[in-house]
Amino acid sequence: MPPSENVDTDLLIIGAGPTGLFSAYYAGFRGMRVAVVDSLPELGGQITAMYPEKQILDVAGFPSVKGRELVEGLVEQAALSEPTYLLERTASTLVEDEGGVTVGLEDGTTVRAKVVLITAGIGKFSPRPLPAGEGWLGRGLEFFVPSFQPYVGKDVVIVGGGDSAFDWALHLEPVAKSITLVHRRDAFRAHERTVEAVKASPKVDIVTKAEVSAIHGNGTVESIDITVDGELTTRPTQAVVAALGFIADLGPIQQWGVEVQKRHVVVDSSMRTNLARVFAAGDITEYPGKVRLIAVGFGEAATAVNNAAVVIDPTAHVFPGHSSEGS
């Protein structure tokens, strides 16, 4: 939609990641008009921005599915609900009243909804910088790996010890000439199964208690300096992936009056926040026993939408019946 439009809808979803996209589909299944706002230019949230080629192993019904393929399926499914997408726009203000919720976007657009569902994941995110990488971004240094093709036949250095670092090492191993994984400690935050798989690869060299202290090259990366226990070594490399995590920020959401706990929105078992017409689902939520998985987000989306249906129409039922029952 063009900027500065006024939008009227039943359900406004804030966040177009997997949970938001499934919420859009399910809202249509419940007969709602739905709009979706996201600050990113594309649908899919973190998956599209950070790991579209990664194999996802914990989505029901898929032994393994690429992030990109999962998003494509969710977008196709959501299209059945004919959602209004408001991309590259950030929700900045929220005012709840007896009849609904008014949300103002940074570009001047105003959305009037009967209910709001926040599915913003970790909120806005930015990668943690690599100190030695100043000035090298886009010249051989990247924070995310949206495509494997640029790494074919190259000596790749991956910096980090979390899931992203080990996932990239595992996925780039078939195409890269060599991979060096550099981590400042000898313990890793990544999933144990992935760590063991990377350790078993003859093409991956794991260097611990180390840091990348300098990057060299003429225009693009050609080599790096690695400091290990005070000793400096230089390795040839044509690509560096800084997988050091990211800084998350809920941004304006923190000013809306919803209860926030450690950068997460607190909800009850119906996915309702402390505001009567505001629900939340997915990684952004917090409650006792919370598990942050895509699969969990899908279930929370259905729970939120079904309970929101009763707020929109008090004569409706929380349980809609099974979709397989037909009409």
Mean pLDDT of successive 10-residue stretches along the chain, which has 327 residues = 77 97 97 95 86 85 93 97 95 94 95 97 82 94 89 97 90 95 93 92 95 96 94 96 84 93 94 97 97 96 98 92 65
Q: Is 125 annotated as a binding residue?
A: yes
> How much is the pLDDT for 212?
96
Name, in order, each residue with C-beta under 8 angstroms of 291's C-beta and a sequence gap of 6 or more. none
* Residues 191 and 166: beta-carbon distance below 8 Å: yes
Kindly write down the DSSP assignment for every residue of 87-154, as one continuous string: ES--EEEEEEETTEEEEEETTS-EEEEEEEEE--TT-EEEEPP-GGGTT-BTTTEES--S-SGGGTT-
**pLDDT at residue 3, as a whole number:** 56
Residue 254 assigned as binding residue: no
Q: How many CA atoms lie within 13 A of 28 on its CB side?
A: 17
Identify the pLDDT of residue 123: 74
324 is in an annotated binding site: yes
Q: Dmax of the chain from CA atoms?
A: 72
Name the token pair of 158: 């991956």
- Domain extents in the chain: 6-125+246-325, 129-242
Q: Is 167 annotated as a binding residue?
A: no
Dihedral sign from CA coordinates of 9, 13, 18, 23 = negative
- Identify the pLDDT of residue 112: 97
For position 230, what pLDDT does the model report?
Answer: 85
- The dihedrals phi and psi of 10, each to the nearest 5 degrees, come to -80, -50
Which pLDDT does position 172 carry in this prediction?
94
User: What is the per-residue pLDDT for 48?
Assistant: 84
At the top level of CATH, which class does the domain 129-242 belong to? alpha beta
Look at residue 237 in the predicted model and tell me its pLDDT: 97
Q: Which CATH class is domain 6-125+246-325?
A: alpha beta
pLDDT at 325: 66
Instruction: For 1-11, write each residue's pLDDT tens digit.
Output: 555 579 999 99
Per the annotation, does 238 bind a ligand? no
293-309 confidence digits (pLDDT tens): 999 999 999 999 999 99
Look up residue 201 and give its two tokens: 């690869």
Q: Is 46 annotated as a binding residue?
A: yes
126 is annotated as contributing to ligand binding: no
